[in-house]
Chains A and B, each alone.
Chain A
Amino acid sequence: MQRPVSRRHLVWTGAAVVALAAAAPLLTANPYAARLAQLLFLNVVLASAWNLVGGFAGQISFGNASLFGVGAYATSLLWLAGIPPVLTMPAAALAAALYGAAWGWPCLRLRGPYFAIATIGVAEATRIVANHIEAAGGASGLTLPLEQDIGTVGLYALGAVLAVVAVLTCDLVRRSRLGLGLVALREDARAAAASGVNVAREQVKAFALAAALTGLGGAYYAQFTLYVVPEKVFGFDLSISLVLMVLVGGIGTVSGPVLGAVIYLILEQFVLASLADIHLAAFGALLIFIVLMEPRGLAPRLVQAISLIRRRFRRPEAGGPA
């Protein structure tokens, strides 16, 4: 808790950067591999952002698509106005953060299922309104120009940076005063308030931060798909996929969203591509399975397995832990 940025961070961040750089040639070799990498980075960013509020503060949002869409549209509109897309990203983050704070402020006073329902309401209202804004292309969306494309390698690097920033943000928040307040209010909002935690403000802060990251994700998405349309970027399915990723990986942990993003991508690309007809049911069954059998997600299992292997490896005669 004392030193937010520790040596451990530098080591892990360094390792991640090296690994991502080493994997770059492989993951930019052909369009399919490049798209997989882009989707993976995007999922990591969005899932980590969702986890800031959903995991630490325990406020399940089914409405993060509304923030994603705002980011995607902010970048697209500025891009079409002639600004290089990478330079539009701060604006996308800001727009999403403002929108998130605007509706998070009233809604985060609700807790549990009520907050979850309110987020569905906001996100669906946003989607319908977006379909009717003719200045932003209405229901047919916006097609983006190819000219200022930063190229496959550029997109890879941008995605990698965003993913590392998102995970690092998650970890820093978990160790910060903000993170302590969020977990405290998740466990018991009344006791947290009695200990001096401004429950409303801490949640809105975290939500605005999550919204900024989600908006950046939207901006990134616009740059690699070159096409934004309300039904997709403001769609309910997107919001749901984030919930699923974090639950599968491990809610409230830093590694959970990353693991969940990887598993989700594998499921989506390799398993469900051949079973497109039943992909909703498969996700539904997965959700039910996780909630009933592994409510803490797979990350704790993985950590368990790794430490077990390590112990076996180091001390074959391992006694009971102290």
Chain B
Amino acid sequence: MKSELGELLDARGLVRRFGGLTAVDRVDLHVSEGEVLGLIGPNGAGKTTLFNLLAGQLRSDEGTIRLLERDIHGLPPHRICHLGLARTFQVPRPFLSLSVFEAVLVGARFGRATPSRSPASVTRQCLARTGLSSRRDDPVRSLNLAERKRLDLARAIASNPRVLLVDEAAAGLNPAEVRETVDLLRDIREAGVGIVYVEHVMEAVLDLSDRVQVLNYGGTIAVGPPDEVMRDPRVVEAYLGRAAESADGGGTGR
């Protein structure tokens, strides 16, 4: 049954256990065309594990994942990428010995093909969108953290995804860089891509998201429009209470 909202990704009842610990506990998640779903929660809430399940890097113990109406549960990561789901990594995992151009070309040549465009032209366009054109011939190892994060995004969008999982694209960046990243994600969303956005930098995720889903101890505790969710007492208690506890750790960026 096709949803009229143009549902791209629909995961239901996902469970993943590590030994006795349930890292992801009966989580439902869906994202539609041109929608940004913000995924927040304290450290260890299961966000990155959830990403690994969706992208096929880990197999869920229970639950179903459908991408464009197609069951992708148990498929290997490269197949899921070919079907239109791309991801970035919390710690960017760039191909250090390649040039910036080649690193993005990996996504363009091996990912989901962009119709009637050559991989090289897709790569050039992705570099332009992420502001890396001037660095195209530099080795990846010469990039700084902000540039590596943008490179990771460029590599991901070069594989022409319908759904993009973004893992902390703004963490560790200065305010100007955060703004650039938000603009870039907005631009990607305008093209109809559905984005699932994990982020600790609250202003970025609240600014960008159409809906926000809050995880705690592996389970969903709230989901809905950003302002509504942030007023939810359970969220205030679980998320912000927890953040206040570890406030001297910093990094919640306010």
Contacts and interface: CB of A to CB of B under 8 A. Distances in A.
A177 B109 CA distance: 7
A196 B102 contact: no
A190 interface: yes
Contact of B120 (A1, A183, A186): A1
B6 interface: no
A183 B98 CA distance: 8
B142 interface: no
A70 B232 CA distance: 70
B73 interface: no
B165 to A, nearest CB: 9
A181 B106 contact: yes
Contacts of A192: 95, 106, 110
Contact of A187 (B76, B97, B112, B159): B97
Contacts of A1: 102, 105, 120
Contacts of B93: 188, 190-191
Interface string B68-109: 000000001110011000110100011111100011011101
A184 B77 contact: no
Query: Interface centre among B82, B110, B158, by most A CB within 10 Å?
Result: B110
Contacts of A2: 120
A210 B77 CA distance: 26
B98 A194 contact: no
B106 A180 contact: yes
A192 B159 CA distance: 11
Interface residues of B, number: 30
A3 B96 CA distance: 24
Query: Interface centre among B77, B81, B103, B158, by most A CB within 10 Å?
Result: B77
B125 to A, nearest CB: 16
B105 A180 contact: yes
Given A184-B106, A188-B93, A188-B94, A196 B87 contact: no
A197 B93 CA distance: 14
Interface residues of A, number: 21
B111 interface: yes
Given A1-B102, A181-B106, A193 B76 contact: yes
B57 interface: yes
A194 B109 contact: no
A57 to B, nearest CB: 12
Contacts of B102: 1, 180, 183
B114 to A, nearest CB: 12
A181 B98 CA distance: 11
Nearest to A202: B110
Nearest to A177: B109
A195 interface: yes
Nearest to A187: B95
Interface in B154-210: 155-156, 158-159
A180 B89 CA distance: 20
Contacts of B111: 195-196
Interface string A238-262: 0000000000000010000000000
9 contacts: A184-B95, A191-B95, A192-B110, A195-B107, A195-B156, A196-B107, A196-B112, A197-B110, A198-B76
Interface of B: 55, 57, 76-78, 81-82, 86-87, 89, 93-98, 102-103, 105-107, 109-112, 120, 155-156, 158-159
Given A181-B110, A195-B111, 20 more contacts: A1-B105, A180-B98, A180-B106, A184-B106, A184-B110, A186-B97, A187-B95, A187-B98, A190-B77, A191-B93, A193-B57, A193-B76, A193-B77, A194-B156, A195-B106, A195-B155, A196-B78, A196-B107, A196-B110, A198-B76
**Nearest 6 interchain pairs by C-beta:** A196-B110, A191-B93, A196-B111, A196-B81, A187-B95, A193-B77
Interface of A: 1-2, 177, 180-181, 183-184, 186-188, 190-199, 252
